[in-house]
Structure 1
Amino acid sequence: MTLNTYQALKMPPSLAHKVYSAETVRSQEPLAAEQAAVPMYDLMERAGAAAFDCLKQAFPKTKRILVLAGHGNNGGDGFVVARLAKAGGMHVTLCLVGDINKLTPDTTTARKKWLDCGGTVGSWPQPDQAFDLIVDAMLGTGIQGKVREPYQIAITWVNQSSLPVLSIDLPSGLNADTGAPCGEAVRASHTISFVGVKSGLVTGRGKGHCGQLHFTDLGIGNTFNTLAKPVAMTIGFDNLASLPRRAISSHKGDHGKLLCIGGGPGLAGAMRLCAEAALRSGAGLVKVLCHPSCRTLVAQGRPEIMLADEEDYQVLFDWADGFAIGPGLGQSDWAKTLFTQLISYQQRRQKPMVLDADGLNLLANLPAKLAATALITPHPAEAARLLECTTSAIEDDRYKAIQALADRFDAQVILKGAGSLIQSEHQCFVCQDGNPGMAVGGMGDTLTGIAAGLMIQGMPVSEVAKLAPCLHAKAADMAAEAQGERGMMASDLLPYVRTLVNR
């Protein structure tokens, strides 16, 4: 088939596309600076200058800023920003939230330079003044446990102020590795991260707290890149390779036969979305095995969707090149029978298969190893059922969760959500496409169809795991650009899916 050698990543990822643990950045940054012959205080000056440049670009009309500084090196960056802003003609109020007796040596130097240029250092609580912007330089990657006072009070005040916020390195109070708030965390408008992007900034709740994320390597990226090992890589549709052109002599049988299983009583819509998404992704033939009560509704207005009428499931399974199971399936005896027979078949034959929705719920009740040819696509609640934990536990550490899912089921995994995580052949990726308009019923069904449609055209499942969520999210971004995020429906993505698979 034409896609059996497809490789999603069209070029080696740059440093900006790699994400690291906080400990990796802390331990390797000094070594990278030493090898690059850059003193650590110079890095602080570079960080402050980069943050100030970001401030000017993101908030060009800002005249009055409040800098909230901690006593660590993050606070030192804030002192540098304050000094540069003052030199640039802005009215700057700097408030030290941290303990002046615990200033790091480099932060002490930055504080002195701020004072030498005529700046003053206030203490928390902040002056009762009007500001255009808050620069958050309170807490960095070293936070342990819950945020304590006075930082907790300061963070709450920032979030209640309704002012735009620029966070330095990461929003104060955010766990740099997981993106989970440590009790309280700043909700930034923009965040600028240094040297290496921290893994918690690009997925789940962390992505929501960061606002627009910026990155600079402070001039030591080449040396850092050789020393540090990332925990994941960020990808987007525009970073991935285009699909190869089809042979002029190709026919429908060359592009795969997909059997979609689902559509229980009252749930025809989910299966219709799945089947049509598979066709729009380029599948040659799509057949639906649904409950008899849903047959007419699934195919209505879309004659290209075939309906299965064979009673012998083995015949159907043999016909198909791959499967999509779960959208609208339900958990009735009919659904359980279909599910158990397909899982047994797939374990023997190892054809490509996507499991979503009730396919995952049934899998949770019947724990079974799958295969590398299987792709599971849970949202956090489904992941929690699969791992027998709470949804909060999944969101508290999405990286740990997706690794556990891959280990338990021996499958490729897409953990959906803001910054969807992808576990593919023992590597973790983070999808950076997508928008809040996708928070609507049916989106998962379209993703299932896209993934299954690509699979049965011959694309390796490990590559489908990377391409499908990025294609799906990019289509949603195009739909949002055309008509806005609010009111988006899953079916709105289908014309853009077709455009993207032909790009």
Structure 2
Amino acid sequence: MNTFTTLKMMPSIAQKVFSTEQVKATEPVAAQIAGISLYELMERAGLGVFDELQLHFPQARRLLVLVGHGNNGGDGFVLARLARQAGIEVTLVEIGEQAKFSEDTRAACQRWLDNGGQNHRWPHPLHGYDLVVDAMLGTGIQGEVRSPYREVIDKLQEVESAILSIDVPSGLNADTGSPGGTAVQATRTVTLVAIKPGLVTGRGRQYTGKLSLARLGIGATFDKLAAPFASLIRLEDLPPLPPRPANSHKGMFGRLLCIGGNQGMPGSMRLCAEAALRTGAGLVKVLCHPQSQNVVVQGCPELMLADPEENPQQLFDWASCFAIGPGLGQDPWAQEWLNALLSYQQQHHKPMVLDADALNLVAASKNKKLPGNTVLTPHPAEAGRLLGLSAAEIEQDRYKALDRMVQLYSASLILKGAGSLVSANQERYVICDGNPGMASPGTGDLLTGVIAGLLAQGMDTGHAVLRAACLHGAAGDMAAEDGGERGMIASDLLPFIRRLVNH
């Protein structure tokens, strides 16, 4: 029985993500429709960033503004003028070349000068300010950062001041979140018109700091003109799960078979299986190495143990879905069970989650064809093995890696990490829930269990991986709020997982 038939599955998306090409092409059109000149848009950008400055850095009385020669620098000239008019002491340093100013940037510079501002040239001291405003490169960087911007960015790493970046931290690729050799480490970034993909996942999240969005009065028009590259999603954006029927019994909520927990690795499977129970799966059976059985069920008598000598066909027929990988290992025992399951699934196509060593074994196999209703849950190193790349290459462009894995394996997929990426129902999502405290052993095993627990109850693979990723991250946030990020362990999330599936 599908207990989610009455659930409206499409999320109410709070924010969308757009590529730099989309912004470059659509922003002028949106401004024209709104009756706003591009110079007026620059004025609005400077004002929007200044409003954020006053909100988040109200004590800043000595301001250093670093401007480049592009439109990002023009935004900086506007902000500098507004800050000076508000009584803030402003020092403005030009890094770019005035000969390369656009007409709008030149106009913004002239208004700054006409209002009593003064331009200094690099090199100039960067220390001794309450706040540094980075208006150097914005989205204008694609390759390596060149001189003199590289020297400025490297020197900024030595200052103690907070740094506010306009649109994108200088040096950061706005689409991938990968630095061009170096990038500004911002305290806060105010991005303009639309959120760019590189700001919200992987290393880009670290460089971006806290993220604000200033839509400049053209956001609604912009959204009508451009299809999103991806969508930001939080658990709160998803509809709540429906109440269970009054005549419920455990058989209505699925039969999950978890395979893993090889010799010496029982903990991974225990975490996975218990997470599935806490998510609401009806019956959870564990197939693990005989030497792992006692540890897997100790303290959780609700878990069932499969007889490893039982006929695989009978075991697989019992289950309505599968989770394989946590603690599986890569020895003949592991390979035999994975091969048996994949062979069975070629005919039956039951929902299935592959994680950890199941992914590594699939990566080593020449056969990349997986059955339908499959979910893959790699972290960057596992994703690298699936694609024949290094983890560093995966992190260079996480969106590209996600798309390549989906194309190669035809599965729903989550690429784990800061700002985990989900491909579900032919859409990309960036998970906003979660925190650095979840970078601890076993949290990925929990995620596998949560996904499988939702699949067991009848949720389709795309929506299960999306909801599970949000739920898992939100549970981690609640655990961090309860006891802090440092020292958090995977099992700390279990009571919050249960709480969240009920609200």
Aligned-partner Cα distance in 2 for 1:350–1:70 = 56
Q: 1:110 aligns with which of 96, 105, 108?
A: 108
Consecutive unaligned residues of structure 2, counting only runs of 5 or more, are none
1:2–1:294 distance in 2 versus 1, CA, 3 Å: same
Matched, 1:429 2:429: yes
Aligned residue for 2:46? 48
Q: Is the 8 A contact 1:371 1:409 kept in 2?
A: no
Aligned residue for 2:415? 415
Aligned-partner Cα distance in 1 for 2:475–2:398 = 24
Aligned-partner Cα distance in 1 for 2:192–2:360 = 41
Structure 2 counterparts to residues 188-337 of structure 1, below 5 A = 188-309=186-307, 310-337=309-336
Aligned residue for 1:93? 91
Give the ranges of 4+ consecutive aligned residues of structure 1 lying more than 6 Å apart after TM superposition.
Answer: none
Aligned residue for 1:20? 18
Aligned-partner Cα distance in 1 for 2:370–2:5 = 21
Aligned residue for 1:163? 161
Q: Is the 8 A contact 1:261 1:288 kept in 2?
A: yes
Q: Is the 8 A contact 2:126 2:156 kept in 1?
A: no
* SS at 1:160 equivalent: coil
Aligned residue for 1:363? 362
Q: Quote how far apart the aligned CAs of 1:5 are.
A: 5.4
Aligned-partner Cα distance in 1 for 2:158–2:204 = 18
* SS at 2:140 equivalent: coil
Q: Quote how far apart the aligned CAs of 1:317 are.
A: 0.4
Q: Quote how far apart the aligned CAs of 1:10 are.
A: 3.8
Aligned-partner Cα distance in 2 for 1:333–1:233 = 41
Equivalent position amino acid for 1:251 in 2: H
Please give the per-residue CA displacement for 1:429-481, whole angstroms capped at 9, x wherever unaligned. 11011110011110100000000000010011110121001000000001111
> TM-score when scaled to structure 1?
0.98
Deviates more, 1:349-358 or 1:223-232: 223-232
Aligned-partner Cα distance in 2 for 1:27–1:295 = 59
* SS at 2:213 equivalent: strand
CA RMSD for the aligned pairs?
A: 1.1
Structure 2 counterparts to residues 71-90 of structure 1, below 5 A = 71-90=69-88
Equivalent position amino acid for 2:311 in 1: D
Deviates more, 1:365-374 or 1:415-424: 365-374
Please give the per-residue CA displacement for 1:40-92, whole angstroms capped at 9, x wherever unaligned. 11111111111011111111111111111000000011111111111111111
Structure 2 counterparts to residues 390-405 of structure 1, below 5 A = 390-405=390-405
> TM-score when scaled to structure 2?
0.98
Aligned-partner Cα distance in 2 for 1:186–1:373 = 42
Q: Is the 8 A contact 1:372 1:412 kept in 2?
A: no
Q: Is the 8 A contact 2:260 2:327 kept in 1?
A: yes
- The count of residues paired between Structure 1 and Structure 2 equals 500
Please give the per-residue CA displacement for 1:239-280, whole angstroms capped at 9, x wherever unaligned. 111111000101000001100000011100000000000000
* SS at 2:430 equivalent: strand
Aligned residue for 1:126? 124
Q: Quote how far apart the aligned CAs of 1:105 are.
A: 0.9
Q: Is the 8 A contact 1:179 1:207 kept in 2?
A: yes
Aligned-partner Cα distance in 2 for 1:220–1:425 = 29
Q: Is the 8 A contact 2:127 2:161 kept in 1?
A: no
Q: Is the 8 A contact 1:288 1:305 kept in 2?
A: yes
Equivalent position amino acid for 2:30 in 1: A
1:154–1:88 distance in 2 versus 1, CA, 3 Å: same
Deviates more, 1:131-140 or 1:370-379: 370-379
Equivalent position amino acid for 1:335 in 2: A
Aligned residue for 1:187? 185
Structure 2 counterparts to residues 333-482 of structure 1, below 5 A = 333-366=332-365, 367-482=367-482
Aligned-partner Cα distance in 2 for 1:287–1:392 = 37
Q: Quote how far apart the aligned CAs of 1:129 are.
A: 4.8
Please give the per-residue CA displacement for 1:195-227, whole angstroms capped at 9, x wherever unaligned. 111111111111111111111211111221121
Q: Is the 8 A contact 1:471 1:500 kept in 2?
A: yes
Equivalent position amino acid for 2:482 in 1: A
Equivalent position amino acid for 2:89 in 1: H
Aligned residue for 1:2? 3
* SS at 2:84 equivalent: helix
Q: Quote how far apart the aligned CAs of 1:104 are.
A: 1.2
Aligned-partner Cα distance in 2 for 1:58–1:191 = 11
Q: Quote how far apart the aligned CAs of 1:327 are.
A: 0.2
